Structure 1
């Protein structure tokens, strides 16, 4: 059964602009305005969902999507680092940050390891095949960039370390088409306003 999975990364917010480990900060006015401006470029889907964060909820609303929260695609749990600036954590805990960046099983923050994030998103991909009918279908989700990166790593069977080599810009569309074990990737398509918008 063919599946099309389309993932939109949320709009900018203050946490992303300040290089913070997102502590579930909402969209700011500029992020919401940008999302509304590109709403007409969002592709149609058979099923809509979003990560449970305020940023994903705000982006989905600004895009005009009726997307319910899906806990399986929640953002990366950064434990006690949530809401803190990366620069401050790096200065205070250089060894911990180094371990986090080099060991996929490390959890110096007390949250979720990179391996756990990838395993969780992989299980979610598998559920898409087991819960839908025999015809091809399209699923569109607004999910945190960490989730987009993890889904790509799992779907393409990349080494988990490849996660750190993937960049996901705000309000971009990453698409996977196929089925478990045989996914094709279309990545980083910016959502652009329709001409005349």
Structure 2
């Protein structure tokens, strides 16, 4: 099947936090090919770091200060992002790649912030119009493989899963995370399709 691997970075996990970065890259699971030429990346405008700092999680302050400042300075407004995303998903090249079907989203731990934030900021109608109501989540696949004792329990952590597949550290940038999530899935497909029943 073909999927759109995507990732967002945000100012936190709370209801009132902001999307500050979004990236996506289509891939073909059967061929195990990432379509680098069809990848897309956005910074999305948010309030200034200083104005939000008192409400930010310590981890976000430590790791995402520069990203928040970049999004505040260079990001596009959320309504423009919505228009740009619609232009992307309705582009004839993308429609042909997905064979005229609604796009199936692929990501990691999407229920945490990705899907709730996208439903909130882009709207339920937008999401249902352009994306399949079914999604494919690498974390769910990982949990199944842990339950089957095909992966060690520590792999429920994204950083540990990256280490398990000798892929280094989680980048915490949207495009690299979208890319690496798909690449980890390729590695799972390769490893477990070779297992004898």
Please report the TM-score for the alignment, with normalisation by the length of structure 1: 0.34
Higher helix content, 1 or 2 = 2
Q: Which has the higher contact order (CA 8 A, sep 6+)?
A: 1
